Amino acid sequence: MNVTIVDYNSGNISSVINSFEEVAKNNVNIEVTSDLSKIKSSDKVVLPGQGSFKSCVGALNKISGLVDTLNEFAINNKKPLLGICVGLQMFADVGYEEKETKGLGWIPGKVSKIDNQNGKYKLPHIGWNQINILKDSKIFKDIENNSHMYFVHSYEFVPKDKNLISATTEYSSNIVCSVEKENIFGTQFHPEKSDKTGLKIIDNFIKL
């Protein structure tokens, strides 16, 4: 089986690569590339994202044909795709970081700044926080509710369809930290930085 981590120059993804390679342990071929033909032929795709919504969308669009290839992979062919952090946020129709920017439009909704309640909550939201698992998501198999995950973000994804939310975390308000729509999965937290629990989520995704 081939799992492709999309490398589109969106910041340092070495921890994502290391975690997937650790979980895969030679049973699964982990490829890190922006080569369209390799992405098309892979069994699963991971879309990481670091930095701002605008910069990540811009980096995706800079690689000719990449957005179309991801659309074909996830929307037309319905193959499993996992978005991490800004990778999840880009599923939205639109994001408002820096300036209004069009997203991939896979899951209707928007990405807006976390309400820090006039400075009561620090932004970015950095560190470990408990997640509240709302539904029986495939990537949460054998993960205990209220497990701690590692977060780094100032913006949150607000999907229109609340039934697609698979987990939330409490920070200033109830923030969406995981979504699942058929073959499309996304986590706002970083499974690759969330110790053994995070590795289990990666393992669940690989084993889908």
153 included as an active-site residue: no
pTM of the model: 0.97
Query: Which candidate, 86, 152, 90, places its Cα nearest to that of 124?
Result: 152
Q: Where does 72-164 show beta strands of DSSP type E?
A: 81-84, 94-95, 101-102, 109-113, 125-133, 148-153, 155-159
Q: What is d(CA 12, CA 20) in angstroms, rounded to the nearest whole number?
A: 15
Q: 174-192: b or e for each residue (b if 16 or more CB lie within 10 Å)?
A: ebbbbbbbebbbbbbbbbb
Give me the pLDDT at residue 123, please: 96
Q: What is d(CA 29, CA 21) in angstroms, rounded to the nearest whole number?
A: 8
56 Cβ neighbours under 8 A, 6+ residues apart: 8, 10, 49, 50, 86, 87, 89, 90
**Consecutive 10-residue averages of pLDDT for the chain (208 residues):** 95 94 92 98 97 96 98 98 98 97 98 95 97 96 98 98 98 96 98 98 97
125 included as an active-site residue: no
Give me the pLDDT at residue 10, please: 85
Cα-based distances in Å from 161 to 45, 94, 146, 188: 24, 15, 23, 17
Give me the pLDDT at residue 55, please: 97
Q: Where does 64-117 show beta strands of DSSP type E?
A: 81-84, 94-95, 101-102, 109-113
59 Cβ neighbours under 8 A, 6+ residues apart: 8, 9, 10
14 Cβ neighbours under 8 A, 6+ residues apart: none
Q: Which CATH class is domain 2-206?
A: alpha beta
Give me the pLDDT at residue 73, please: 98
Residue 136 CB neighbours (<10 A)? 9
- Which of these is catalytic: 97, 156, 180, 192? 192
Q: What is d(CA 206, CA 208) in angstroms, rounded to the nearest whole number?
A: 6
- Which of these is catalytic: 85, 97, 156, 177? 85
Query: Which candidate, 24, 8, 13, 17, places its Cα nearest to that of 57?
Result: 8
Query: Which candidate, 177, 166, 170, places its Cα nearest to that of 89?
Result: 177
85 included as an active-site residue: yes
DSSP 8-class letter at 164 = G
